[in-house]
Amino acid sequence: MRRAALFLLLCGLPAAAQIAIRGETVYTMAGPPVRNGVVVITDGRIARVGPADTTPVPSGYRLLSGKVVTPGLIDARTVVGLAGYLNQAHDQDQLERSAAIQPELRAIDAYDPRERLIEYLRGYGITTIHTGHAPGALVSGQTMIVKTAGKTVDEALVKPAAMVAATLGAGGRAAGGKAPGTRSKMVAMLRAEFIKAREYAAKRETAEAGKEPAPDLRLDALARVVRGELPLLVTVHQMHDVMTAIRLAKEFNLKLVLDGAADAQGLIDEIKASGYPVILHPTMARAGGETANLSLETASKLQAAGIPYALQSGFESYVPKTRVVLFEAALAAANGLSFEDALASVTIGAARLLGIADRVGSIESGKDADVAVYDGDPFEYATHCTAVVLNGRLVSEAPQ
């Protein structure tokens, strides 16, 4: 019966019961932790949160309990839903290699909300993911933000277009003698496209009715970037490539998000002065090639400098095709971050960076009821996620 009920919930049917969650410690991420706290969930939203002695459980509500309660976790950069767990051609839609620059490609058109990796991540308390086209092309396409439950992409959707993904450095080179083959060519190609997009946008805005330039999917997408409507998410690791990305963004007044940034620990002052945030490489990424200088302590250095950042699972080429951002935060906590700062990097910090903090990232009245329940310290490997509530629905209660 329990499995049948969960199946109905995941298929988008309404939940029959309201929910309350009691935790020995509730990390709201909106203030100090609440000891012996209660979270009351009504109609898919957080209704109240506070100490048990002042926050009674309403009659008829289903009560869940755990040692630690947190907001649903947020993976700030992944390709899950485009990349599938089978690692076969039919479930690998994360990277189109037919051209170097394809900002018109939309993650929403390739995302499979019923991919088994999504269920796998949800079982660890991950309720929101920023997913889309992978690094590996100069401009690989658009990203989006979704919840980790829903029968269709429309049910899961938070933001249909979140950022436009690009890659600088060795990872952005085209194969087979095609352009771009060097870093200078990459930047020249991007600069040319941004100039075209800026001119296209200006003509579309000022032309007389009926005399506008013909619609162009590529330039429409890049016009949103040069107008500052969509951030440019640049996967970049080495110091000189990081500085190139910053210089290019300043030249065109772009909203830049640095993705990966393995050498960030050597550029703390420069990144802070730029004002751009960082979605840091997975803590457990393998060090080699462009990521040879990565450090397990980079998150703590960004934190100390006051640079906005979040953690990610990134792109994993091995089966099962994804890391778990909960584990990435745990390792960051073991290498200089405090528990609450590490938790913030996958909750409220990630929500702010992605522009969705009005809905998720903390347990506050009025926000989406995305909550994870654990039977111990979430960053301890032996701890289980015993329940996950997403949009006010119980979507997992099998310990993982």
Query: With 50 as the cut, is the pLDDT of residue 13 above it?
Result: no
Mean pLDDT rounded to a whole number for the chain: 94
Residue 56 C-alpha from the chain's centroid = 34
CA-based radius of gyration for the chain: 21
* Average pLDDT value for residue range 309-336: 92
Indicate whether 275 and 180 sit together in one domain: yes
Amino acid found at 6: L
Q: Output the domain CATH number for residue 316.
A: 3.20.20.140
Residue 240 and residue 263 in contact, taking contact as beta carbons nearer than 8 Å: no
What's the pLDDT score for residue 137? Answer: 97
What's the pLDDT score for residue 208? Answer: 83
What's the pLDDT score for residue 134? Answer: 95
* Average pLDDT value for residue range 103-113: 98
* Average pLDDT value for residue range 159-185: 96
Asked if residue 91 belongs to a domain, the reply is: yes
| Dist. CA 232–CA 161, nearest whole Å | 12
Query: With 70 as the cut, is the pLDDT of residue 5 above it?
Result: no
Indicate whether 63 and 116 sit together in one domain: no
Indicate whether 85 and 16 sit together in one domain: no
Asked if residue 278 belongs to a domain, the reply is: yes
Indicate whether 23 and 155 sit together in one domain: no
Asked if residue 166 belongs to a domain, the reply is: yes
Predicted confidence band of residue 316 (pLDDT cuts 50, 70, 90): confident
**How many domains are there within the chain?**
2
Considering the chain, what percentage of its residues have pLDDT values greater than 90?
88
What's the pLDDT score for residue 16? Answer: 37
What's the pLDDT score for residue 69? Answer: 98
Q: Compare 60 and 3 and report the one with higher pLDDT.
A: 60
* Average pLDDT value for residue range 202-231: 93
Asked if residue 283 belongs to a domain, the reply is: yes
Asked if residue 52 belongs to a domain, the reply is: yes
Asked if residue 375 belongs to a domain, the reply is: no
Can you tell me whether residue 307 is helix, strand or coil?
A: coil
What is the layout of strands, in order, in the sheet containing 19-26? Answer: 45-51, 34-42, 19-26, 62-71, 371-374, 385-390, 393-396
Query: With 60 as the cut, is the pLDDT of residue 6 above it?
Result: no
Indicate whether 251 and 339 sit together in one domain: yes
Strand partners, 142: 164
Model pLDDT for residues 356-383, shown as the tens digit of each residue: 999 999 999 999 999 999 999 999 999 9
Indicate whether 39 and 97 sit together in one domain: no
* Average pLDDT value for residue range 92-119: 97
Q: Output the domain CATH number for residue 35.
A: 2.30.40.10
Residue 100 and residue 139 in contact, taking contact as beta carbons nearer than 8 Å: yes
Indicate whether 81 and 42 sit together in one domain: no
- Which stretches does DSSP call E strand in the chain? 19-26, 34-42, 45-51, 62-71, 73-78, 126-132, 139-147, 157-159, 164-167, 232-236, 256-260, 278-280, 309-311, 371-374, 385-390, 393-396
Helix segments in the chain, DSSP class H: 2-10, 116-122, 153-156, 183-206, 217-226, 239-252, 268-274, 298-305, 325-333, 339-344, 348-354
Indicate whether 116 and 44 sit together in one domain: no
Backbone torsions φ then ψ of 248, nearest 5 degrees: -65, -40
Residue 24 C-alpha from the chain's centroid = 28
Give burial (CB, 10 Å; 0-12/13-18/19+) of 80: buried
Tokens of 291: 């990521």
Cα 284 to Cα 3, 44, 89, 281, 312: the distances in Å are 34, 35, 26, 8, 10
Query: With 70 as the cut, is the pLDDT of residue 213 above it?
Result: yes
Asked if residue 373 belongs to a domain, the reply is: no
| Dist. CA 234–CA 274, nearest whole Å | 14
Asked if residue 367 belongs to a domain, the reply is: no
pTM: 0.95
Q: Count CB-CB contacts under 10 A for residue 255.
A: 17
Model pLDDT for residues 77-86, shown as the tens digit of each residue: 999 999 999 9
Indicate whether 127 and 265 sit together in one domain: yes
Tokens of 278: 């960082």
Model pLDDT for residues 251-281, shown as the tens digit of each residue: 999 999 999 999 999 999 999 999 999 999 9
Predicted confidence band of residue 12 (pLDDT cuts 50, 70, 90): very low
Q: Compare 322 and 1 and report the one with higher pLDDT.
A: 322
Query: With 90 as the cut, is the pLDDT of residue 36 above it?
Result: yes
Indicate whether 67 and 121 sit together in one domain: no
Indicate whether 21 and 93 sit together in one domain: no
**Which residues span the domain enclosing 327?**
73-360
What's the pLDDT score for residue 17? Answer: 57
Indicate whether 11 and 83 sit together in one domain: no
